[in-house]
Structure 1
Amino acid sequence: MRTFAAYFIYMNKFEELGLNAEIVNAVRDMGFEAPSEVQEKAIPVLLEQETDLVALAQTGTGKTAAFGFPLIQKINPQSKQTQGLILSPTRELCLQITNELKNYAKYIPQLSTVAVYGGASISDQERQVKRGAQIIVATPGRMKDMVGRRMIDISNIGYCVLDEADEMLNMGFYEDITEILSHTPKEKKTWLFSATMPKEVARIAKKFMKDPQEITVGSKNEGAKNVSHEYYITSGRDRYQALKRLADANPDIFSVIFCRTKRDTQKVAEKLIEDGYNAGAIHGDLSQNQRDLVMKSFRNRQIQMLVATDVAARGIDVDDITHVINYQLPDEIETYTHRSGRTGRAGKSGVSMVIVTKSEVRKIKSIERIINQSFEQKDIPSGDEICQVQLFHLANDIKETKINHEIDQFLPQLEEILKDFSKEELIKKFFSVEFTRFYNYYQNASDLNQKVSSRDYREGEETGDSVRYFINVGSKDDFDWMSLKDFLKEELDLGRDSVSRVDVKDSFSFFNTDASETEKVLAKFQDFQLQGRNINVEITKNRGGGGGGKRKSGKKGFGGKRKDKKFGGNDRNSERSPRRSKPSGGSGGRKANIKSSINRRKKK
């Protein structure tokens, strides 16, 4: 029981920020011990001043309360008019924020917070808003739709919060946000919260905010201090085997595994389930009901390994995640900060692991510079090491197991059955039941580690890191930068995060890849057609990027036809996996033709 003195200190910590009694009481009920750093910095500024704000802080640092507490306190609960709008990138995050705000405002019964998001009845959401919603939490797509249909009036709001701003812009919501904000009053205050500060976030801050206050928790784009970072080097064909060994070497793992594409996410999850792991997938191709069921199983720990895309993972708010595993590095280095922020939350420690090939090693150094933390290179565990870990994990489980005394009545019979064995023999027999599965699987396991030299770390920096290409499709073909990037990633299937600096013009576009992928890119687009139209890719003279650059005259693509890449883990022992016995938890016409052809390719 909390002593009076401790209770008094506890109350003072939040009262000193300027919060009123209703919010402080709600905070007490929720069990908050003390304000986090971002809360200590943001809440007094937002309560004491009518100002715009840019706040940079990592995922899991308490940003929702940092803007939620001041917003609730500034809202007039007696008025049914919508006064505050919060935009967030995903449905899951939208619902999470809504639930948290309701908890914060539990002692203010007149205050109503409504979630507005896709995948649910728009008419039901309209009715909830019409009944009186002082605060609306929304995803940009659904909000733009409802504002356009005049289902929601945000012409008199006083506050607009852009939560996870970098992720919303990375998902291509810039135009939606611009359209939504055009329906809000100029004199409103805008609070922008983000984990990283790429140029797109800086641009939106400059366009929609006036002399904003700025607070930063840690350095810009810096990773969380209580997360350790490790990387493991293997060949591309052994990536899946490496993932399994990392899981087997950490028996209590409760993790999120990140893949770049929806296809890889689904395949990795299916393979893990087939091999007996309690795994599941979450990505954009799942229905909302499927995603809800997967997340429920993950929160209940029926799923130990959740395989996710970066976009789908934005709604994951689960405590005690022990590991984040980067099965593939993200397309944008800043995204790594979001990934690693899934673990090490609420003051607990966590581990972020990266599986890379030799050609990807130098990117570790780039990430280190951005997050201002060092990675430790580690070896992928050997079969012997995994068997030893599993053996002692079982021993500790037995040691901590509470005795069920219902067994007492059967002890005489059990003793009779086992009377001919010594203590040593009984121990060996007992542990062999579990240990033998792993031993049989790993007894002839090969070394998956690949050795690298200092040259591997410098490669690319010495030869020219990036090559820029011209491609003869553009906005007339119904592409924007994000859809073109997705298309290129899908077709090239590079096995690494290489497509960048996508610049879409009217009838043509530019993009960059790493220099080491040049031959593969050009080979892919020789004799490449969409609905009978030739798609050409050529190298520009401006290798490093920028807005354009002249095409290299006469340089056409060369080599090969399209092939569907098979799943990349050479599962040598999959038929006898140690976990198999466990239960598994242009013109309009041209636009239409090209778009439908792309969709058909993606379905294959």
Structure 2
Amino acid sequence: MSAFQQLGLQENLLQAISDMGFETPSEVQEKTIPILLDQETDIVSLAQTGTGKTAAFGFPMLQKINPESRTTQGLILSPTRELCLQITSELKNYGKYVQGLNVVAVYGGASITDQASKIKKGAQIIVATPGRMKDMIGRRMIDISKIEYCVLDEADEMLNMGFYEDITDILSHSPEDKSTWLFSATMPKEVAVIAKKFMHKPIEITVGTRNTGSANVSHEYYLVNARDRYQALKRLADINPEIFSVVFCRTKRDTQKVAEMLIEDGYSAAALHGDLSQNQRDLVMKSFRTRQIRMLVATDVAARGIDVDDITHVINYQLPDEIETYTHRSGRTGRAGKTGISMVIVSKSEQRKIKRIEKIINKEFVKKDVPNGMEICEIQLFHLANKVKNTDVNHEIDVYLPKISEVLEEFTKEELIRKVFSVEFSRFYNYYRKAKDLNVAEGSGGSGADRSPKDSARYFINLGRKDGLEWMDLKDLIREITQLGKDDVFHVDTMNSFSFFNTETAHIDKVMEAFKDVQFNNRKIDIEISTKGRSGGRGRKKEGRGKGFKGKGKRGDDRGGKFRGKGGDDRGGKFKGKSRRKNDRPKEKGTGGRRRRR
């Protein structure tokens, strides 16, 4: 008797399991499947991404529905199109020996009439994204009044994406006596609210410790100056020649810019964010799955639903706004029993977030140093040696061997080895031989929190919270106008109608010049050197709201405002695929200092 047979699954499902090569159920499958098969109950199952949750609810649903009926009996809601299609594909594989089974995917970006037609033919199970599902129910293209089972997959992700109202609206059209199965990686209060509102005495199953990360993922952080973040990213890629990674950024613009820089610098990279069309997203994901792209730079929203095994690294180029989101990021690696590494590049001002994440995932981070140039050269050299050793000989070159031997006959074996390996080694050596140390010692440098007031200037500015600006918004705005680095603006204190901030005294002229004739919401920004201390200053009352500003800044901004500069940057760009310049490594100088956080 197989391990899956002991769970109570019927023969046609066991045959499909055998075809797929599954031998041993995962922990979430082992705990969940028997309960769902034996009882008509609601259930809350907490397990990390990549632990086999689809099979945990998929097999019981397939066994319990009536495939001879054309009535829709099961509904599965998932946060993204990619995850929706993935679940649909897996259910079809699980149920390939279930006669008469019809599983239909419902999602945005595809023909709604085609989806409605497939459902009309009889779909026992519908897998849907909330937005399209709500739309089709409103148009009376779908009837879920008789469903018996409803699955909320990646429930925390759906709520993070703002689908609470859509979910509540959809479930209001379903029977009260249905069984609701909620699967989530974490259990924030919003998920608990859903469970309380739509479920009756649910059984709770937890795989691992609630809200923790995967046991197969190790966590590392690298402490650098903010201006060196991109250089650190490149070194982490170079020290791991076989890297196959997802690089997370906070915003669409940063995602696009980092991807463009990586492509320009010779890495196989691409961006994945909400400004891409569905066709572009599909092309990016196809290239990533086939490893034509080895560094996928993505926003959190765009990366939801990515199900690609064998990802070796998750790199947090910037930490997420919501600390809990880190759990989902790190869950992209260390899947299917394999190990993975989650790396975080942080500046001094962000270091406190590491401690908060450690408490959430119940794991400790290991502080590591960004590798130096010679370490990278050594790793790349031996990587090339192993690559040569493991390369299969192409005998099509045999016909050319006599002429090749004639060209190289003057060299000894050792000389040939030196020449061949110098091709790769020299490229990295020439680039890294004068590379600076990017590491920042703990307790020094960084955010400006421990800088002496004697070394800094305090400014008064006539913008505050009434203008819709909290301290982080104001800091980003100041950096946008002045083109200063993230750590060059510090001690930002926002009041109702005015604020204060500090820079080093060396930046005074640059700051004052940058703010000449700059307007915010069609009124002039006033800025002065403050004679008061950090919390002192004079209040100035000015009317105005909003986040639109225009002036002499060098680059455009996409925060919904009107910032017009000397040459606005409008590169919100679209998909750019893998690099065509494999051997052109990046130009280190002069790039890191221009990066901005939004």
With structure 1 as the length reference, what TM-score do the two structures score?
A: 0.78
After superposition, residues 56-75 of structure 1 pair within 5 angstroms as 56-75=46-65
Deviation at 1:494, TM superposition (A): 8.4
- Unpaired segments ≥5 residues, structure 2: 451-463, 481-489, 502-514, 526-538, 558-578, 586-598
Q: SS of the counterpart of 2:4? A: helix
Deviation at 1:403, TM superposition (A): 2.1
Q: Work out the CA distance in 2 between the residues paired with 1:270 and 1:176.
A: 35
1:61-117 CA-to-partner distances (Å, cap 9, x unmatched) read 000000111111111111101111111000010000000011111001311110000
Q: Work out the CA distance in 2 between the residues paired with 1:235 and 1:58.
A: 32
Q: Work out the CA distance in 2 between the residues paired with 1:489 and 1:164.
A: 34
Q: Is the 8 A contact 1:325 1:354 kept in 2?
A: yes
Q: Is the 8 A contact 2:255 2:273 kept in 1?
A: yes
Matched, 1:379 2:369: yes
- Unpaired segments ≥5 residues, structure 1: 1-7, 461-468, 474-483, 496-514, 536-552, 568-577, 585-604
Aligned twin of 2:591: none
Aligned twin of 2:307: 317
After superposition, residues 458-537 of structure 1 pair within 5 angstroms as 471=466, 517-518=492-493, 522=499
Matched, 1:448 2:438: yes
Aligned twin of 2:414: 424
Q: Is the 8 A contact 2:492 2:500 kept in 1?
A: no
Deviation at 1:416, TM superposition (A): 2.7
Distance 1:156 1:355, change over 3 A: same
Aligned twin of 1:405: 395
Q: Is the 8 A contact 2:233 2:317 kept in 1?
A: yes
Q: SS of the counterpart of 2:50? A: coil
Q: Work out the CA distance in 2 between the residues paired with 1:424 and 1:153.
A: 75
Deviation at 1:389, TM superposition (A): 0.7
Q: Work out the CA distance in 1 between the residues paired with 2:556 and 2:433.
A: 27
Q: Is the 8 A contact 2:255 2:297 kept in 1?
A: yes
Aligned twin of 1:414: 404
Aligned twin of 1:95: 85
Q: Is the 8 A contact 2:223 2:441 kept in 1?
A: yes
Q: Work out the CA distance in 2 between the residues paired with 1:335 and 1:493.
A: 27
Q: Is the 8 A contact 2:347 2:446 kept in 1?
A: no
Q: Work out the CA distance in 1 between the residues paired with 2:554 and 2:39.
A: 57
Q: Is the 8 A contact 2:76 2:153 kept in 1?
A: yes
Which of 330, 333, 336 is equivalent to 1:340?
330
Q: Is the 8 A contact 1:522 1:557 kept in 2?
A: no
Aligned twin of 1:116: 106
1:421-456 CA-to-partner distances (Å, cap 9, x unmatched) read 222211111111121111111111111111112998
Residue identity in the other structure for 2:380: Q
Aligned twin of 1:588: none
Distance 1:44 1:491, change over 3 A: same
Which of 287, 311, 319 is equivalent to 2:277?
287
Aligned twin of 2:224: 234
Q: SS of the counterpart of 1:346? A: coil
Distance 1:185 1:387, change over 3 A: same
Residue identity in the other structure for 1:94: C
Q: Work out the CA distance in 1 between the residues paired with 2:357 and 2:445.
A: 18
Deviation at 1:39, TM superposition (A): 0.4
Deviation at 1:564, TM superposition (A): 6.7
Q: Is the 8 A contact 1:493 1:565 kept in 2?
A: no
Residue identity in the other structure for 2:132: R
Q: Work out the CA distance in 1 between the residues paired with 2:227 and 2:116.
A: 51
Q: Is the 8 A contact 1:58 1:195 kept in 2?
A: yes
Q: Work out the CA distance in 1 between the residues paired with 2:336 and 2:255.
A: 27
Deviation at 1:516, TM superposition (A): 5.5
Which of 366, 388, 392 is equivalent to 2:382?
392
Matched, 1:261 2:239: no
Q: Work out the CA distance in 2 between the residues paired with 1:207 and 1:564.
A: 51
Aligned twin of 1:185: 175
Q: Is the 8 A contact 2:267 2:582 kept in 1?
A: no
1:570-602 CA-to-partner distances (Å, cap 9, x unmatched) read xxxxxxxx9955489xxxxxxxxxxxxxxxxxx
Q: Work out the CA distance in 2 between the residues paired with 1:557 and 1:220.
A: 48
After superposition, residues 346-365 of structure 1 pair within 5 angstroms as 346-365=336-355
Q: SS of the counterpart of 1:179? A: helix
Distance 1:494 1:355, change over 3 A: farther
Which of 139, 158, 163 is equivalent to 2:153?
163
Aligned twin of 2:163: 173
Deviation at 1:23, TM superposition (A): 0.8
Q: Is the 8 A contact 1:362 1:456 kept in 2?
A: no
Q: Is the 8 A contact 1:361 1:456 kept in 2?
A: no
Residue identity in the other structure for 1:77: P
Aligned twin of 2:529: none
Q: Work out the CA distance in 1 between the residues paired with 2:445 and 2:224.
A: 17
Aligned twin of 2:129: 139
Which of 202, 214, 217 is equivalent to 1:224?
214
1:516-565 CA-to-partner distances (Å, cap 9, x unmatched) read 554599579999755x6999xxxxxxxxxxxxxxxxx988899x977576
Aligned twin of 1:195: 185
Which of 298, 309, 321 is equivalent to 1:308?
298
Q: SS of the counterpart of 1:315? A: coil
Distance 1:71 1:31, change over 3 A: same
Deviation at 1:320, TM superposition (A): 0.6
Q: SS of the counterpart of 2:3? A: helix
Distance 1:309 1:179, change over 3 A: same
Residue identity in the other structure for 1:315: G
Distance 1:109 1:209, change over 3 A: same
Distance 1:454 1:435, change over 3 A: closer
Distance 1:401 1:527, change over 3 A: closer
Deviation at 1:151, TM superposition (A): 0.8
Q: Is the 8 A contact 1:337 1:371 kept in 2?
A: yes
Residue identity in the other structure for 2:14: V
Deviation at 1:418, TM superposition (A): 2.0
Q: Work out the CA distance in 2 between the residues paired with 1:63 and 1:582.
A: 41
Deviation at 1:222, TM superposition (A): 0.6
Q: SS of the counterpart of 2:345? A: strand
Aligned twin of 1:587: none
After superposition, residues 19-30 of structure 1 pair within 5 angstroms as 19-30=9-20
Q: Is the 8 A contact 1:88 1:94 kept in 2?
A: yes
Aligned twin of 1:251: 241
Matched, 1:329 2:319: yes
With structure 2 as the length reference, what TM-score do the two structures score?
A: 0.79
Q: SS of the counterpart of 1:393? A: helix
Residue identity in the other structure for 2:250: R
Distance 1:517 1:173, change over 3 A: farther
Which of 31, 36, 44 is equivalent to 1:46?
36
Q: Work out the CA distance in 2 between the residues paired with 1:566 and 1:239.
A: 22
Q: Work out the CA distance in 1 between the residues paired with 2:231 and 2:441.
A: 17
Q: Is the 8 A contact 1:523 1:557 kept in 2?
A: no
1:265-284 CA-to-partner distances (Å, cap 9, x unmatched) read 11111111111111011111
Q: Which range moves more in the overlay, 30-39 or 517-526?
A: 517-526
Q: Work out the CA distance in 2 between the residues paired with 1:101 and 1:471.
A: 52
Q: Percent identity?
A: 69
Q: Work out the CA distance in 2 between the residues paired with 1:271 and 1:62.
A: 36
Aligned twin of 1:594: none
Aligned twin of 1:600: none
Distance 1:182 1:528, change over 3 A: farther
